[in-house]
Amino acid sequence: MITLGIESTAHTLGIGISKNGKILSNAHDIYKPKGEGIIPRKAADHHMDVLPQILTESLSKAQIALDDVDLFSFAQGPGIGAPLSVGCVAAKTLALKYSKPLIGVNHPYAHVKIAESLTKLRNPLILYVSGGNTQILIEEKGKFQVLGETLDVGIGNLFDSFARATKLEYAHGSTLEKLAKGGKYIELPYTVKGMNLSFTGLQTAAIRSLQKHSAKDVSYSLLETSFSMCCEALERALFLTRRKSILLCGGVAQNKRLQQMLKILAKEDKVKFGVSPDEYNRDNGAMIAYTGELLYKKKGTKPIEKWEPEPFQRIDSL
């Protein structure tokens, strides 16, 4: 079975193709706002502009034609309404034109499923970290439970807001990581409530600290503090659930310092640790194709016209 998946929940338009669980291609383009956050309308315009080119690229890498696709899938939510609609409409149009089934995929669920497949971890305790989300999850009898999560902003959005305050040209977590290299530690607010986290106090204090300290030192301290918070909450969940492995996934999972901290934590607590290659942690279409196929084979799908984006869809509501 060949599945084409479209990702468009936020700044990335990604189109991936999978065949019987194997990834054939994974093309993408990112909307990069300068000096501002994601403007929904501009993100949607970007996705509409690049969609034909990314579709062509993905098909040619996979060496297939649209006629060969057996199932079309799209990221249904959570995400930003306007860009989400672009992916949904594109997938619906293709499914109708080629008379093939359509399936919507929860974005965090896709991050988890592709990461489980690539790391070969079974029943892990999951730390899902991205722009809008920061969650500690477990799957039990096919249902996801959120054991802990951010009570305000997602960790990735914390980094993006701070990066904008430092006037980085491309305000994104990855640029912050580069800036933080060689920085010195300064104390910042640290807020863990059981297995939940709060980042807004840290965000305000970090931005204020820029008046007294260098952007390098504050960036370094912001990353160290927020990642330590995630580790503390995750370790509490590990002792509670007694899971034998930790899976790190989502866009912020690409951060090498966070990976290093969790590797140390896993070693000390004698559990396995797994993280996917960066290509599958950033937002991507391959994970939507892979997971679309998985869901379709498990439970089929509903008529094309019944599918619509769900900007506030939660993994524990599935």
Q: Which residues in this chain contact Fe ion in the complex, by CB under 5 A?
A: 130, 283
Provide the Cα torsion 202, 208, 211, 213; round to 10°. Answer: -10
Q: Which is nearer to Fe ion, 25 or 130 (CB)?
A: 130
CA 168 to chain centre: 22
Q: Which is nearer to Fe ion, 26 or 130 (CB)?
A: 130
Q: Which is nearer to Fe ion, 43 or 215 (CB)?
A: 43
Provide the Cα torsion 111, 121, 148, 201; round to 10°. Answer: -70
Residue 40 in tokens:
């929904």
Calculate the alpha carbon distances from 291 to 21, 225, 228 in Å.
Answer: 9, 33, 31
Minimum CB–partner distance for residue 283 and Fe ion (Å): 4
Say if CB 184 and CB 222 are below 8 A apart: no
Q: Which is nearer to Fe ion, 130 or 313 (CB)?
A: 130
**Packing angle, helices 215-241 and 155-165, rounded to 10:** 170
Residue 56 in tokens:
């062509």
Minimum CB–partner distance for residue 216 and Fe ion (Å): 27
In whole angstroms, give the CA distance from residue 45 to residue 211: 36
For 103, phi then psi, to 5°, come to: -145, 140
Minimum CB–partner distance for residue 32 and Fe ion (Å): 16
Minimum CB–partner distance for residue 249 and Fe ion (Å): 9
Q: Which is nearer to Fe ion, 116 or 283 (CB)?
A: 283
Minimum CB–partner distance for residue 130 and Fe ion (Å): 4
